[in-house]
Amino acid sequence: MHPDPERELIGYATGALPEPERERVAAHLSACATCRRTVEESRAVLDGLAGGATAPPLDWGRYQAELRARRQARGRSRWWARPLPALVAAGVATAGLVLALQGLHRPGDLAPADESALGARLPLLQQYRVVERLDLLEDLDAIRHLDGVGGAR
């Protein structure tokens, strides 16, 4: 049976085959003129390409100057553009946004000014019986109308 030309013969021709396969293909080649010719022609092609092609000449001073200009135009990548810092920065920004949104949507909270005004009126509030029946001062509407209650007393 002939070796697979796409895997074994080209591997043999380029010296890429590992030892057990290489020996098996070599044994086959000693007895098969067709495969031997394929290997020889492949080697002839690869030898003919050896040394590579020569590109048209280039002004290397100009090349480096252009590269420097392109580099300066784009600038070095910012540290925050790198994967890990970018992830951390995104996480911090998201957490900040969530906290800010939570702060905006707390309807039960009082503004600092309202809290200080209530605190100033606490001694007055303690004079009213109705306050004793309020559940932890939750009924703000009732508190706001205490002045009227007091006037009616």
Are 151 and 127 in contact, with CB atoms under 8 Å apart?
A: no
Stretch of 9-17, 91-99, 126-134, 145-153 lying at the interface with another protein (CB under 8 A): 9-17
Q: Considering the rule CB under 8 A, would residue 31 count as an interface residue with another protein?
A: no
- Which among 27-35, 62-70, 91-99, 100-108 is the span making contact with another protein, rule CB under 8 A? 62-70
Q: Which residues, other chains included, contact 9 with Cβ-Cβ below 8 Å and sequence gap of 6+?
A: 3, 25, 35, 38, 39, 42
Contact status: 2 vs another protein (CB under 8 A)? no
Question: Measured from the CB atom, is 33 or 49 closer to another protein?
Answer: 49
Q: Which is nearer to another protein, 63 or 137 (CB)?
A: 63
Taking each helix axis from N to C end, the angle separating 33-49 and 19-29, rounded to the nearest 10 degrees, works out to 120
Q: Are 42 and 72 in contact (CB under 8 A)?
A: no
Which position among 20, 48, 103, 148 is part of the footprint of another protein (CB under 8 A)? 48
Q: Give the span between the Cα atoms of 68 and 112, in whole angstroms.
A: 57
Minimum distance of another protein from residue 103's CB (angstroms)? 37
**CA-CA distance, 63 to 53, in Å (whole number)?**
20
- Pick between residue 43 and residue 128 the one whose CB is nearest to another protein: 43
